[in-house]
Amino acid sequence: FPSHDSKGNFKIIHNSDLISVEIVNLLGEIIYSSNDKNDNIDISFAAKGMYIVKVQTTNSVQTERIIVD
């Protein structure tokens, strides 16, 4: 799943085809959404804080928290 640095750059690690990535803040606002196959995500523009990453692949949907410092 996300392997990230604290500045908002991360790579999605998955075992099947990537369908979509969505990142929301703790208020539920979508700050990033993509339907392309790009595994490298840059949300360095985001304010410091915790975010929820939702990754959909052909086999599953997973969510995880990340922190941007």
* pLDDT tier for residue 16 given thresholds of 50, 70 and 90: confident
Quote the pLDDT of residue 25. Answer: 97
DSSP 7-54: TSEEEE--SS-EEEEEEEETTS-EEEEE-S---EEE-TTSPSEEEEEE
pLDDT in tens, 24-48: 999 999 999 999 877 788 998 999 9
Q: 26 — phi, psi (to 5°)?
A: -75, -10
